[in-house]
Amino acid sequence: MNHEVALIPGDGIGPEIVCAMRRVIEAAGVDITWRELQAGASVVDRYGTPLPDHVLDVIREVGVAIKGPITTPIGSGFRSVNVSLRRAFDLYACVRPCASMPGDGSRYRDVDVVIIRENTEDLYAGIEFEADDPAAQDVRETVKRDTGRVIPQDACISLKPISRTGSERIVRYAFEYARRCGRSKVTAVHKANIMKATDGLFMRVAREVAAEYPEIAFEDRIVDATCMGLVMHPEDFDVLVLPNLYGDIVSDLCAGLVGGLGMAPGANIGSSCAIFEATHGSAPDIAGKGIANPTAEILSGCMLLDHLGESDAAARIRSAVRATLADGACVTADVRRALTGSTSGAATTDEFTDAVISRL
Ligand code: NAI
């Protein structure tokens, strides 16, 4: 069966790893018509925006996309294209599995956790005011009037909206995921001891939803203690569900447990659209050198194939990646360094990709 998939190569290492992912999927014999689209800094001069309307139109039409990372200017400049895509298609669930593979270079063995991150709310909602914005002054006055607390005149302000609706749908997604994938426990992560309103709501809703899934164990934990627990005893965790910002941070931490960012795939899921992408960013420090690890993007491609009903091909690709890493003779510099302390003898992105394809 032919599938249509929107493809955004992105920037930095994006085009290199997206090319690897596409070669592997094609070598596995899956029939995909790729609708290639450009977004990010390179299109701003031409379209006046990093995310032109025609890109959104094609994704809306096709309903499924896979992308490479896109650079976001820090501190100023355009807002994140990644965040804009999640918002445009209401991709409320970010799913990031982190599972050990033999030869992944990690100090940990047998890690198998899945991060389910709320993708639309929280400090990531992007409701922010510069210190001299008149709206910031309105907020200061409202806060002073209603709480007696003074926000300094030179403070910028970010708002953290967390809704009952948003919390309920992400926690329910986590439990449904656990049920569908045969997982046995869900941990809701928060900081409700300090943020009693926002994180308190998230925690209370998680407890309510958990009661509907008696066959799945449930606990809630504070985010800082969760980080320590993940580093000391990752085997205590199974599925984690988190508000947006904690999910962002904890998913990088979990990537570190399974060999680093080059290993961690991801999916952004909404009710009518899904966009797949590696957890990592555009890695400007290694872009253009042909040395990026394409594993995270290839495994994101496997999640795409599962979504398209091509689970046999996905399983064959996962097994080829696993065998290539386990063999250890042809691995990229990040893995090589983790295994041996040196990048000497590391494979390029293309060599690793060829090794995976040869095992399909
Ligand atoms: P990053 O994830 O790009 O890089 C962090 C470190 O991990 C770097 O040392 C990099 O070389 C390494 N790394 C990442 N992916 C790798 C791979 N596949 N193989 C080998 N090494 C890899 O994070 P950073 O530097 O904070 O962000 C760079 C840019 O990417 C920023 O503009 C950021 O906003 C953007 N970004 C985009 C995302 C997306 O498109 N979904 C997600 C995260 C960041």
- CB burial of 323-360 (b: ≥16 within 10 Å; e: otherwise) equals bbbeeeebbbbbbbbbbeeeeeebbbbeebbbbbbeee
**CA 281–ligand 1 middle distance (angstroms):** 3
Q: What is the pLDDT of residues 159-213, one digit of tens each?
A: 999 999 999 999 999 999 999 999 999 999 999 999 999 999 999 999 999 999 9
Choose, from 11, 104, 122, 248, the residue flagged as catalytic: 248
Q: Please give the number of the atom of ligand 1 that sits closest to the Cα of 71.
A: 32
Please check whether residue 174 is in contact with residue 228, taking contact to mean a CB–CB distance below 8 angstroms. no
Q: What are the residue boundaries of the structural domains of the chain, listed by start?
A: 1-97+265-360, 112-121+162-257, 125-161
Choose, from 104, 122, 124, 199, the residue flagged as catalytic: 124
* Residue 167: DSSP 8-state: H
Asked about 248 being catalytic, the answer comes back as yes
pTM of the model: 0.94
Give 240's strand partners: 115, 187
| Mean pLDDT, residues 312-341 taken together | 96
Q: What is the pLDDT of residues 238-253, one digit of tens each?
A: 999 999 999 999 999 9
Choose, from 191, 199, 246, 334, the residue flagged as catalytic: 191
Which of 11-15, 74-78, 97-101, 128-132 has the least mean pLDDT?
Answer: 74-78
Phi-psi region for residue 219, left (φ > 0), alpha (ψ -120 to 50) or beta? beta
- For residues 7 and 25, give the distance between their C-alpha atoms in angstroms, rounded to a whole number: 13
In CATH terms, the fold of domain 1-97+265-360 is: Isopropylmalate Dehydrogenase (3.40.718)
Q: Residue 259: CB within 6 Å of ligand 1?
A: no
Q: How confident is the model at residue 75 (pLDDT cuts 50, 70, 90)?
A: confident
Q: Residue 300: CB within 6 Å of ligand 1?
A: no
> What CATH code would you report for 112-121+162-257?
3.40.50
**CA 283–ligand 1 middle distance (angstroms):** 4
Alpha carbon 88 to its chain centroid, in Å, reads 17
**CA 294–ligand 1 middle distance (angstroms):** 12
Report the residue among 280, 336, 339, 349 best suited for mutation to probe ligand 1: largest number of ligand atoms under 8 A from its CB.
Answer: 280
DSSP line for 96-135: EEEE--TTS--S--S-EEEEEEE-SSGGGG--EE-TT-HH
* Residue 43: DSSP 8-state: G
Asked about 124 being catalytic, the answer comes back as yes
Q: Please give the number of the atom of ligand 1 that sits closest to the Cα of 293.
A: 19
- Residue 147: exposed, middle, or buried by beta-carbon count in 10 A (0-12, 13-18, 19+)? exposed
Torsion angle of the four alpha carbons 325, 10, 38, 297, in this order, in degrees rounded to the nearest 10: 20
**CA 251–ligand 1 middle distance (angstroms):** 13
- For residues 217 and 121, give the distance between their C-alpha atoms in angstroms, rounded to a whole number: 26
Q: Residue 277: CB within 6 Å of ligand 1?
A: yes
- Ligand 1, atom 44, lies closest to the CA of 281
Q: What is the pLDDT of residue 78?
A: 78
Q: How confident is the model at residue 341 (pLDDT cuts 50, 70, 90)?
A: very high
Tokens of 332: 């990229």
Asked about 224 being catalytic, the answer comes back as yes
Q: Residue 334: CB within 6 Å of ligand 1?
A: yes
Which of 287, 195, 178 minimizes the C-alpha distance to 240?
178
Q: Residue 118: CB within 6 Å of ligand 1?
A: no
